[in-house]
Chains A and B, each alone.
Chain A
């Protein structure tokens, strides 16, 4: 399977705290992306990091990539209740997108 694995599977934090989730994958990649899915809805793209990049920022999001370890992390700073959702990494070895197992984040107001 080309599916990545994420941990933790579930994460519960207080509003204002930071949330970190990790993704490990198996294949070579062109890039790695993170998506968010609110309950019962389609996925929304958050951020993309290319295979030759090590870190990228977008607003309250920070993504790191370590291709030698085939791993990535997503940090959400100063979390809000509206950040409650499932988060998936997606690896893109060619033109297909393979999604990780996901982290369910709950931010408690």
Chain B
């Protein structure tokens, strides 16, 4: 199993600003993912964070808007850039070793005003 610490747990931000979300795992993991979950909706995969190389983004998500870092096997950040109210959502960090089971942080609840 893996324990994930995600910070901040929530934030209220002004439009046009950026927020960086941190994800720390208690063990080395091969796969790290970032998801967005809008209220009452499912999880949408934003990108796979790759250690030592650029993240792999899903269709509809771009690096300029959601830059991701992954400097090692236990840590990653997601930045939500130039925010607008449409970016208000829950952002979730997830990890997996292989394709067996995904573990999730408690999420970051972002409100953009």
Contact = CB atoms under 8 A, between A and B. Distances in A.
A22 to B, nearest CB: 15
Q: Which of B4, B33, B42 has the most CB of A within 10 A?
A: B42
Interface of A: 1, 3, 30-31, 33, 35, 40-45, 48, 88, 90, 92, 94-102
Given A88-B43, A95-B96, A97-B33, A41 B106 contact: yes
Contacts of A43: 43, 92, 94, 102, 104
Contact of B99 (A1, A35, A45, A94): A94
Q: Which of B44, B45, B101 has the most CB of A within 10 A?
A: B101
B42 A102 contact: yes
A42 B104 contact: yes
Interface of B: 4, 31, 33, 35, 41-45, 48, 59, 92, 94, 96, 98-107, 109
Nearest to B4: A42
A92 B43 CA distance: 14
Nearest to A4: B42
24 contacts: A3-B42, A3-B44, A30-B99, A31-B100, A33-B102, A40-B107, A42-B4, A42-B106, A43-B94, A43-B104, A48-B100, A48-B101, A88-B43, A90-B102, A95-B98, A95-B99, A96-B33, A96-B45, A97-B33, A97-B45, A99-B43, A99-B44, A100-B42, A102-B41
A99 to B, nearest CB: 4
A90 B4 CA distance: 20
Contacts of A96: 33, 45, 48
Nearest to A45: B101
